[in-house]
Structure 1
């Protein structure tokens, strides 16, 4: 259970970073059942290529600052769908058109949603 708790903490950091850069429609899915090497997918929407790139850069910077190692990054040059692989957490930052087109929520609809706790929601309790 400790490993999943670490993933949830990574999720909190990533969600705070994404929201701080204008990320919208944040959804986290527990994909640990079908994908044993990954715990959580975080899906985020940006409203332009520049916004997608800014969100991805901020998420990456904040997770690295917190001591997490990035395994892989894809799509940064086009900034239409940026994938950030941090091992237990994979962050997908989409332009709104790509998010609808690829429909990851639909593909992973059988996976449970993970509640996203950001610094704001924790402070508001």
Structure 2
């Protein structure tokens, strides 16, 4: 695995925040060797625009609180169907279930290693 430990810690924090807000199909991908511009992707889904927004807010809050990290760019917040949070070293994709099926990031990056997100069960 090429994901640095500090990035892995933030990826896991973001994944747990998403899980806590009931995101589904949460996946971490080691894209560093394939892309070269970022180390990892976190991809997760939600069934509604409102939940996409809620997951986005929770991820941003937890990463700020626990790691002092803020996104360099934020795209799609107004649409509510696909929000991209670019932290430089990792990119978080929060997608409406229909958008995820349509654009198929999982299929595009099926050849990269998965990242163990070490998720605790949601309470």
Structures share fold, TM-score greater than 0.5: yes
Q: Is the 8 A contact 2:21 2:54 kept in 1?
A: yes
TM-score, scaled to structure 2: 0.92
Runs of 4+ in 1 over 4 A off after TM superposition: none
- Name the structure 2 match of 1:17: 17
**CA distance, structure 2, for counterparts of residue 80 and residue 86 of structure 1:** 19
Question: After superposition, what is the alpha-carbon deviation per residue over 1:25-66, rounded to whole angstroms, capped at 9, x for unaligned?
Answer: 001110001211211100000110000000011101111122
- Name the structure 2 match of 1:29: 29
**CA distance, structure 2, for counterparts of residue 73 and residue 94 of structure 1:** 13
Bigger CA drift: 62-71 or 44-53? 62-71
Q: Is the 8 A contact 1:28 1:114 kept in 2?
A: yes
Alignment pair present for 1:56 and 2:37: no
> In structure 1, the residue corresponding to 2:33 is in which secondary structure?
coil
TM-score, scaled to structure 1: 0.90
**Number of equivalences:** 120
Alignment pair present for 1:78 and 2:79: yes
Question: After superposition, what is the alpha-carbon deviation per residue over 1:99-120, rounded to whole angstroms, capped at 9, x for unaligned?
Answer: 00000011111111111113x2
**CA distance, structure 1, for counterparts of residue 2 and residue 90 of structure 2:** 14
Q: Is the 8 A contact 1:64 1:70 kept in 2?
A: no
**CA distance, structure 2, for counterparts of residue 16 and residue 42 of structure 1:** 11
Over aligned residues, Cα RMSD in angstroms?
1.6
> In structure 2, the residue corresponding to 1:69 is in which secondary structure?
coil
Shift of 1:3: 6.7
Shift of 1:2: 9.5
